Amino acid sequence: MYYRIFALRNKKTENMTFDIDMIKKVYARFPERVEAARELTGRPLTLAEKILNAHLWDGTPTQVYQRGVDYVDFAPDRVAMQDATAQMALLQFMQAGKKKVWVPSTVHCDHLIQAKVEASSDLQNAINLNNEVYNFLESVSDKYGIGFWKPGAGIIHQVVLENYAFPGGMMIGTDSHTVNAGGLGMVAVGVGGADAVDVMAGLPWELKCPKLIGIKLTGKLSGWLSAKDVILKVAGILTVKGGTGAIVEYFGEGAIGLSCTGKGTICNMGAEIGATTSLFGYDDSMGRYLRATGRTEVADAADGIAPHLTGDPEVYADPEKYFDEVVEINLSELEPHLNGPFTPDLATPISEMKEAAKKNGWPTSIEYALIGSCTNSSYEDISRSASIARQANELGIESKATLNITPGSELVRYTIERDGFISTFKEMGANVFANACGPCIGQWARSGSDKQEKNSIVHSFNRNFSKRADGNPNTHAFVGSPELVTAIALAGDLTFNPLTDPLYTKEGKQIMLDEPKGQELPDKGFEVEDAGYLEPAEDGSEIEVKVDPTSERLQLLDPFSSWDGGNLLGAKLLIKADGKCTTDHISMAGPWLRFRGHLDNISNNTLTGAVNAFGGATNTVKNQIDGSFGEVPAVARAYKAAGIASVVVGDSNYGEGSSREHAAMQPRHLGVHAVIVNSFARIHETNLKKQGMLGLTFMNENDYHLIQEDDTFNFIDLEDFAPGKPLTIEVVHADGSNDVVVVKHTYNAQQISWYRAGSALNLIKEENAVK
């Protein structure tokens, strides 16, 4: 066992601010860069524009970038990685030939802990089971100067919000919900591991200049409404792809009235509308949160440049002039929502749920309700939910469903235990699981889920794709605020509307629940004994990182092969995916998380969740070599063994969801050369490019329908692969006829050089070799 794993070295003490010097440097240059950008554009600026301009790789802005068109190089302030993606990110970083990370970086152990019995035994189990992976992550972190948050410390995004996020900063993280830090006014973007490698290696981070969506919030939340309802409503309006390529900026009196953690919830679920990130301007709620979490110095520094840390008043007064799209929501008129099932943008106001459930045949009985996750486990969320549980306990209402709680961090867990909330929940019959992702990522040992019965669950997480929480494709998951989820647990009924429906005590007495009440921040302050942080070695050069060659969990990477510069001929269709194809369909999490550090082993889940457009089955595709049918990974391996390239075809928003680059690396490892779709989710498209794949989109959406089961693809002008130039594919059908299909791409010159080298990492290595 790597020697530090149990060392209780907890350097995070009260009022200690991580990386304050870096933050001060960012603030010192901020005003001048914002001013330069204002002069260049000749107009007032949104907050997003200010932060982007303050983080240009080349320093002070000298040109105006075209939104949605130009690629821009940025210099993010920090990097965060969670254990399930850090393994691949760090396996790649180890090859980049650097001694230390270039910017402050952290690793968080949160995804691999299974929720089965209760927090402490589940945590111990995870440590036993994942020992090899934790040791690997800890030793790599120690070696390269990366802060390490032990299993049990909490979920990456909560820990980042509590310790690292700062107004006006820029960070990237190898998890799509990195965007959570927008709640503290940070441009925080989810990326694949290869992007993180660039930034940790001291290279620029490239992003297409985002479009800007402004969301004006008027009015005020009250009663049963919570910040969650704002984003559930926004998801309903903008849909799962409405935010693609855009930064969503919230403003208006309604925005200022929200707590900082409520803002975090809204930004967190910006991932569910595909947004690059979401943002709120610096205000008093952020100052309060920074001070409550021991970062008075950051709050003071932010106060010092406060007008620069929010959008210019002229912008917010006349948003249509400055944003590409504006949405307005009156919080006073909002209703609590439940979104789902199977997609986070199917928004139903709670008053319409009875009718909607009936019409759609959604099961209404609720056996499990779950709160917590990185999205909703703030002190405010928990205190409001606990106020509902307390009423039930006092009035003698027995909860019909079991409530499961996954706190977001040890800081919050310790504090809510001290303040009596955990005992309130336990009195209601709830289970408290470890501070980790748990059920949110399929790490939930739900008994009986293998029977695949049709059922519904409600939770306060962010995603509800098929099979996500318990692996059962027939589980209908609905997303709601923690307080509403708690109330629904009591009623055991999806259609329960606490505003109008009564509950019954054990004696049969009818009561109406009072509105939830909570505190934004703990009156007695936050408290924690061991936050779970390990500081890396000052000089890690002597530390040796070992990977057992026989390990089934970790595997050193072999470089992908480079492009010979020729056309790609004779490629076979591996699968044409029908409908929604998220990263969960391409590389399922849950039981497969254990192989996240072993490319060959995890490749055995490739596209097993995708629905085959021919026949509608999952994980059954035709093997064109012998006409047999087999599992997707097996057929891909057969093509690869025969030296035949393969192609994946998909519909719109392909690769929606997670940042996991496994969804790109696995097909690449199995010999897929191109993915051709109607549209991509942003992170996935970049991941494909970084891993040396062709990510292409049909010029004409109807061409998707031309693709048949026995098709062969000839890329007849790939030799001339160039920025802005569409590619032509000759698609040959089984009867010998063919269609010529034109596809678009968004590769710039640099990205084409990744393709040429076989991957972005290969290019870094080539460049290091030349130096």
- Report which of 152, 191, 186, 164 is spatially closest to residue 103, judged by C-alpha positions: 164
**Catalytic residue check, 476:** no
- Which of 540, 545, 597, 541 lies closest to 142 in space, CA to CA? 540
Contact 372, 405 (CB under 8 A): yes
C-alpha 477/C-alpha 463 separation (Å) is 9
Say how far apart CA 620 and CA 613 lie, in whole Å.
11
**Is residue 270 a contact residue for ligand MIC (CB under 6 A)?**
no
Distances (CA, A) of 650 to 151, 444, 645: 37, 30, 17
Rounded least distance, CB 373 to ligand SF4, Å: 4
The partner in contact with residue 659, picked from ligand MIC, ligand SF4, none with C-beta cut-offs of 5 to 8 angstroms by kind, is ligand MIC
Please report whether residue 658 would count as binding ligand MIC according to CB under 6 A. yes
Whether residue 596 contacts residue 633, with contact meaning beta carbons closer than 8 Å, is answered with no
Judged by beta carbon, residue 169 or residue 590, the one nearer ligand SF4 is 590
Measured between alpha carbons, how far is 406 from 385 in angstroms, rounded to an integer? 13
Does the protein bind ligand MIC through residue 659 (CB under 6 A)? Answer: yes
Selected range binding ligand MIC among 172-180, 231-239, 383-391, 492-500, rule: CB under 6 A? 172-180
CB of 343: closest distance to ligand MIC in angstroms? 14
Q: Exposed, middle or buried: residue 371 (CB in 10 Å: 0-12, 13-18, 19+)?
A: buried
- Part in contact with ligand SF4 (CB under 6 A); list of ranges 292-300, 437-445, 676-684, 694-702: 437-445
Angle, CA 459 vertex, CA 455 and CA 465 arms, to 5° = 65
- 302 or 434: whose CB is closer to ligand MIC? 434
Helix (H, G, I), strand (E, B) or coil at 235: helix
Is 111 annotated as catalytic?
A: yes
Report the residue from 589, 670, 672, 761 that binds ligand MIC according to the rule CB under 6 A.
589
* 367, burial (CB in 10 Å: exposed 0-12, middle 13-18, buried 19+): middle
85 binds ligand MIC (CB under 6 A): yes
Q: How many CB atoms lie within 10 A of CB 100?
A: 15
Ranges within 96-125 binding ligand MIC (CB under 6 A): 111
Instruction: Give the contact letters, 180-199, x = binds to ligand MIC (CB under 6 A), - = no.
Output: ----------x---------
- Residues in CB range of 68: below 8 A, 6 or more apart: 208, 209, 210, 211, 245, 324
CB-CB contact of 460 with 335 (8 Å): no
Residue 226 binds ligand SF4 (CB under 6 A): no
Q: Does 665 bind ligand MIC (CB under 6 A)?
A: no
Using DSSP's 3-state secondary structure scheme, residue 534 falls into strand
Q: What is the closest distance, in whole angstroms, from the C-beta atom of residue 691 to ligand SF4 in the complex?
A: 21
Would you mind telling me the total number of residues written for the chain in this entry? 771
Cβ proximity to ligand SF4: between 157 and 337 the closer is 157
Binding mask 433-452 for ligand MIC (x = CB under 6 A): --------x-----------
- Among residues 142, 175, 195, 419, the one annotated as catalytic is 175
Q: Does 437 bind ligand SF4 (CB under 6 A)?
A: yes
Mention every residue, 6+ apart, whose C-beta is less than 8 A from residue 111.
Answer: 82, 83, 84, 436, 437, 441, 443, 589, 593
Note whether 482 binds ligand MIC by CB under 6 A: no
Binder to ligand SF4 among 119, 159, 422, 441 (CB under 6 A)? 441
Q: Which of 598, 660, 684, 745 is the binder for ligand MIC (CB under 6 A)?
A: 660
Report DSSP state, residue 600. Answer: H
Question: Which one of 657, 692, 695, 758 is in contact with ligand MIC (CB under 6 A)?
Answer: 657
Least CB distance from residue 348 to ligand SF4, whole Å?
A: 21
Which of 660, 668, 669, 745 is the catalytic position? 660
Instruction: Return left, alpha or beta for 219; rule: phi > 0 is left, psi -120 to 50 is alpha, else beta.
Output: left
* Residue 660 interacts with which of ligand SF4, ligand MIC, none, CB < 5 to 8 Å by class: ligand MIC
The active-site residue out of 413, 463, 585, 669 is 463
Q: How many residues bind ligand SF4 (CB under 6 A)?
A: 12
Select which of 111, 390, 459, 596 is catalytic: 111
Q: Is 491 in the site for ligand SF4 (CB under 6 A)?
A: no
Residue 461's binding partner out of ligand MIC, ligand SF4, none, with CB under 5 to 8 Å set by partner kind:
ligand SF4
Candidate ranges 113-121, 149-157, 413-421, 735-743; the one touching ligand SF4 (CB under 6 A): 149-157
Query: Between residues 494 and 663, which has the closer beta carbon with respect to ligand MIC?
Result: 663
- If one asks whether residue 624 binds ligand MIC (CB under 6 A), the answer comes out as no
Rounded distance, CA 690 to CA 660, Å?
A: 12
666 in Cβ contact with 599 (< 8 Å): yes
Shortest distance, CB of residue 561 to ligand SF4, whole angstroms? 32
The 8-class DSSP code of residue 57 comes to: T
Residue 350 C-beta: closest distance to ligand SF4, Å: 23
Measured from the CB atom, is 65 or 461 closer to ligand SF4?
461
Q: How far is the CB of 382 from ligand SF4 (least distance, A)?
A: 15
Measured from the CB of residue 625, what is the shortest distance to ligand SF4 in angstroms? Answer: 38
Kindly name the residue from 19, 110, 283, 345 that is annotated as catalytic: 110
Q: How far is the CB of 593 from ligand SF4 (least distance, A)?
A: 10
Q: Does 191 bind ligand SF4 (CB under 6 A)?
A: no
Cα 762 from Cα 771, distance rounded (Å): 14
Contact flag: residue 175 with ligand SF4 (CB under 6 A):
yes
DSSP 8-state symbol, 547: -
Would strands 672-677 and 646-649 be described as parallel, antiparallel, or unpaired? Answer: parallel
Token pair in block for residue 30: 């901020």
Residue 176 engages ligand MIC in binding (rule: CB under 6 A): yes
For the question of residue 596 being annotated catalytic, the response is no
Phi and psi at residue 45, to the nearest 5°: -120, 150
Write out the DSSP string of 642-690. Answer: TT--EEEE--TTBTBS---THHHHHHHHTTEEEEEES-B-HHHHHHHHH
Q: Is 88 among the residues that bind ligand MIC (CB under 6 A)?
A: no
Q: How many residues bind ligand MIC (CB under 6 A)?
A: 14
Q: Which is nearer to ligand MIC, 190 or 294 (CB)?
A: 190
Contact segment (CB under 6 A) with ligand MIC among 198-206, 519-527, 614-622, 652-660 equals: 652-660
d(CA 254, CA 316): 13
CB of 435 to ligand SF4, least distance (A): 10
Q: Cβ neighbours of residue 146 under 8 Å, at least 6 residues apart?
A: 101, 105, 106, 107, 140, 536
Whole-angstrom distance, CA of residue 226 vs CA of residue 621:
45
Residue of 78, 116, 177, 216 interacting with ligand SF4 (CB under 6 A)? 177
Q: Residue from 75, 434, 440, 528 that binds ligand SF4 (CB under 6 A)?
A: 440
* Active-site hit among 141, 385, 460, 658: 658
CB 593, min distance to ligand MIC, A: 7
Q: What are phi and psi of 158, to 5 degrees?
A: -70, -45
CB of 155 to ligand SF4, least distance (A): 5
Please, what is the minimum distance in Å from the beta carbon of residue 134 to ligand SF4? 17
Mark whether 735 is an active-site residue.
no
Q: Are 676 and 726 in contact (CB under 8 A)?
A: no
Enumerate the β-bridge partners of residue 459: 370, 479
Contacts of 498 (CB under 8 A, 6+ apart): 224, 484, 487, 512, 513
Residue numbers annotated as active site: 110-111, 175, 463, 658, 660
Residues of this chain that bind ligand SF4 (CB under 6 A):
155-157, 175, 177, 373-374, 437, 440-441, 461-462
Residues of this chain that bind ligand MIC (CB under 6 A):
84-85, 111, 175-177, 190, 441, 463, 589, 657-660
